[in-house]
Amino acid sequence: MINHEKYRIAVLGTGHIGKTLARSLASAGHSVKVANSRGPETIAPDVLATGAEAADAASAMQDAQVVILSIPMAKLVDIASLVRKLSWDVIVADTSNYYPHRDDNIDTFSDGQVESLWVAQLLNRPLVKAWNAIGSDSLANKGTTEGAVGRISIPVAGNIEEHKKVVMRLVSETGVDAFDAGTLEESWRQQPGAPCYCTDLTYAEMKSALALTEQSRLPARRDIAVQAIQERMGDKRSNPTADYIVRLHRALFM
Ligand SMILES: NC(=O)c1ccc[n+]([C@@H]2O[C@H](COP(=O)([O-])OP(=O)(O)OC[C@H]3O[C@@H](n4cnc5c(N)ncnc54)[C@H](OP(=O)(O)O)[C@@H]3O)[C@@H](O)[C@H]2O)c1
């Protein structure tokens, strides 16, 4: 049965990814509140253009049914105490990835800790890992309607099936197919460096991409990609185009 329910959604983070999620989920008819770290008055009008409302993090999450975390991984520590207070029926989705050059070295990842398990432990609750494996330009500009030929697909992992189902439906409303990538324990297959990571695969291509992922090679491949992107973009905080990101990541990760 198709779920047409509209949700109260909080999006924490209004950067490259959070902005697009807020815009598309508000467009889809959900009641969306967004927060950044600097306060509602600093949230740009284009984030709110389709109906999302600016708030601070605590009030955005206050009556949310779904909370989407879209902030750098190392900054999750700053909102952890608020997230830990949420009731267990609130669905928490996390878009974050670990990048040592940005997040400092979180030692546990050198020992092979799965990134989303570290986040779940930090937040002391279940979560769904989603929207982490698509570049911001692809998410903003390459989305299509359900059933469109060549539609991009992204992996979604989580341990509570009901939560994962809701997030998968929201993923589709942001213009891409959701592929059930299993549990959080398996979610290393969608981390930076993996064949499915920011390579804009289709649903039909996703199963073998996940199966072919070699965990030990991910960090080195991730770091080579970062070096190439930094060389191209310099100090700018803007993200490369979808075309460049996908070409680079397909060459390095697949
Ligand atoms: N960029 C991509 O292509 C991409 C793709 C997939 C996944 N991701 C992952 O998704 C996450 C977000 O990436 P991004 O590129 O969107 O980051 P970004 O452009 O740097 O934006 C980060 C956002 O997080 C907010 N933030 C930081 N600390 C916060 C706090 N304590 N409370 C509320 N908001 C806070 C920032 O608000 P202020 O500006 O007010 O500090 C900003 O709006 C990262 O983990 C990233 O690895 C990124």
* CATH number, residue 59: 3.40.50.720
Nearest residue (CA) to ligand 1, atom 46 = 96
Pairing of strands 8-12, 31-35: parallel
Residue 42: inside a domain: yes
194 DSSP 8-state letter: S
Asked whether 73 and 103 are in contact (CB, 8 A), the reply is yes
Ligand 1 contact, 100 CB (< 6 A): no
HSE, side-chain direction, 13 A CA sphere, residue 244: 13
Ligand 1 contact, 101 CB (< 6 A): no
Residue 102: inside a domain: yes
| Residues contacting residue 97 through CB under 8 Å, at least 6 positions apart | 73, 115, 132, 191, 192
pLDDT at 235: 67
Structural domain of 180: 8-185
Residue to probe by mutation, ligand 1, list 17, 23, 118, 190, most atoms within 8 Å of CB: 17
Residue 217: inside a domain: no
Structural domain count, the chain? 1
Backbone φ and ψ of 13, nearest 5°:
110, 125
Pairing of strands 153-158, 177-180: parallel
Ligand 1 contact, 116 CB (< 6 A): no
The pLDDT tens digits along the chain (254 residues) read 567 799 999 999 999 999 999 999 999 999 999 999 999 999 999 999 999 999 999 999 999 999 999 999 999 999 999 999 999 999 999 999 999 988 887 878 878 899 999 999 999 999 999 999 999 999 999 999 999 999 999 999 999 999 999 999 999 999 999 999 999 999 999 999 999 999 999 999 999 999 999 999 999 999 999 999 999 988 667 889 999 999 999 999 99
Residue 97: inside a domain: yes
HSE, side-chain direction, 13 A CA sphere, residue 15: 14
pLDDT at 108: 85
pLDDT at 237: 72
Ligand 1 contact, 79 CB (< 6 A): yes
Residue 236: inside a domain: no
- Identify which of 99, 67, 57 has the alpha carbon closest to the alpha carbon of residue 193: 99
Helix/strand/coil for 93: strand
Using CA atoms, how far residue 187 sits from 164, 169, 236, 240, in Å, is 13, 19, 30, 25
Residue 53: inside a domain: yes
